[in-house]
Amino acid sequence: MFKESMSKGSVLKPNVFMKGVLIVALAGLGGVRAVGGSSISAAEAPSAQGGWQAEFDDVCSKTQDAMSLSAEELTVLIQRCDSLAPEIEKLDATRKTVFMGRLKRCRGLYAYVLDSKKNEKK
């Protein structure tokens, strides 16, 4: 339900194959690409309960830089947002509403910038 409402025409398949392809592509670009000191990796995921907050803070802290990120980096960020959604769904009602709203805006912004980058190329 969350994914249906989030997607704007693009089909999401956050399966293992896609993650594998992305990791290879990123590795092929020459290793970790530093953006202000923090690295973006598809392998990074909330490891423990409560770890979702740190992940959220990390993923959504890059909105101001969105215009300077590449399409691949934006795609990874969107995937990380999608991975966070189930964690946030488990929270209590108010926390869930607040953080789902914030995640929606954060993910929406990355998708928006990614779309505009794709359109520019055309």
Does 5 participate in binding other proteins (rule CB under 8 A)?
no
**62 near other proteins, judged by CB under 8 A:** yes
| Contact in structure between 37 and 107 (CB atoms under 8 Å) | no
- The piece of 16-24, 39-47, 75-83, 90-98 that touches other proteins (CB under 8 A) is 90-98
Q: Quick one: which of 20, 36, 51, 86 contacts other proteins (CB under 8 A)? A: 36
Q: What is the distance between the terminal CA atoms of the chain, rounded to a whole angstrom?
A: 31
The reply to whether 20 sits near other proteins by the rule CB under 8 A is: no
Q: Is 82 in the site for other proteins (CB under 8 A)?
A: no
The span of 14-22, 58-66, 72-80, 83-91 binding other proteins (CB under 8 A) equals: 58-66
Q: Which amino acid is at 36?
A: G
CA distance 35 to 100: 26
d(CA 34, CA 47): 22
Residue 24 in tokens: 């290879």
* Pick 21 or 65: Cβ nearer other proteins: 65
The stretches of 7-92 forming alpha helices (DSSP H) are 16-28, 51-59, 71-89
Q: Please identify, using beta-carbon distances, which residue of 5 and 15 lies nearer to other proteins.
A: 5
